[in-house]
Amino acid sequence: MDSDSSRRVARGDDRRAQRTLLRYPERRTGFDRRSRSGWRGRYEAGLRELAERPRTLLLVLATIVVFNLMDYLLTLRVLDAGGSELNPVMARLFSIGPEAAALVKLGVAGAVVLGLLALRRYRRTLELAIVALVGFSGLMLYHVLIATRIAT
């Protein structure tokens, strides 16, 4: 049996059913030309605005950086008040020293933001920026709740 015949797909087998690997980076940006209505249309419009207006994306990314810095500073205050760090990686870094924790926390966040900025033309990257913003907003809400408990 030659190598060509072993590669052939048997008649009746669907070649599209073969397993394909996830390819990254994407070749397409992920934006569909068709317009949608409802919440999905508003979501698409928001993503398209992020793609077409770099200032809006820069504002989102700057907010992520500021929230990350605020998280670090508020965590320091909680630790000074006798609280504990819930993230085991950050707890280990804080046990080494607050400088080590700041270096890793701000360095990783900076690298992620630069990566998001470099890949901003892709839809998944913009969605990741939105998820990061929502996540850090939730974290800021958590810090506000902790601060009100400490104050009372």
Domain boundaries, the chain: 36-151
Confidence of residue 143 (pLDDT cuts 50, 70, 90): confident
- pLDDT tens by residue, 111-136: 999 999 998 888 888 999 999 999 99
Cα dihedral value 138, 139, 144, 148, nearest 10? 110
Non-local (6+) Cβ contacts of 101 within 8 A are 72, 90, 93, 94
Using only C-alpha atoms, the chain has a radius of gyration, in whole angstroms, of 23
Residues 6+ apart with CB under 8 A from 146: 74, 78, 83
Sign of CA dihedral 127, 43, 50, 35: positive
Task: Answer for the pair 124, 26: CB distance below 8 angstroms, yes or no.
Answer: yes
pTM for the structure as a whole: 0.70
pLDDT digits (tens, 9 = 90+) for 71-110: 999 899 888 888 888 899 999 999 999 999 999 999 999 9
